[in-house]
A and B are shown apart, each in its own frame.
Chain A
């Protein structure tokens, strides 16, 4: 079965430091988008960043950036200058097949220490 794997169930980072969350995926699509979502305790799913697979350049959104390795099917999220408000569960998402089905990893809970 095609899957999305987040190998780190929990991570912690000191405030103002940098942390990287890892994600690997498996898709048969040739052109696609990859996503990182944040879920705070309010349970709302919030899009953090999106990567277009046909673009070589890694996406960046303020303090959030990705390291996208298409051949390795790896898509990690780097959070710089971590803030207390970054504490949440983070999910990566990938299309699973050429039908457009979107599936999510198991999530990584990020703790930010003051």
Chain B
């Protein structure tokens, strides 16, 4: 397996534009996480899916952010409209959740988003 694949690796966009980040989790994993990393706030969990269903989206900053997981092999995180304060590195991670919890979260390479 190629691991968790995120695209794009880098994105520079103008304020007000729509941004879509993409993630392909590891085959067979049933959990998917979107995290945002900034110097000020560290690694924040934005949303967590289990079996393609959003379980916890309490970390989504505001209505400008939305995430979908239409099937087990694909997820998107969309920001519309984007703002400069959204500039960060966004990570997608996938995991296998067993009866004893998340076995291990594998991370993608991250998307560095810059909103100017």
Contacts and interface: CB of A to CB of B under 8 A. Distances in A.
Interface of A: 29, 31-33, 35, 37, 43-45, 47, 50, 52, 54, 91, 93, 95, 97, 99-107
17 contacts: A31-B100, A32-B100, A32-B101, A33-B101, A35-B105, A43-B89, A43-B110, A44-B110, A45-B93, A91-B43, A93-B105, A95-B102, A100-B55, A100-B102, A104-B42, A105-B42, A107-B42
Contacts of B97: 100
Contacts of A45: 91, 93, 107
Contacts of B14: none
Instruction: Classify the secondary structure of B's interface with A.
Output: strand
A29 B104 contact: no
A37 B35 CA distance: 14
B42 A106 contact: yes
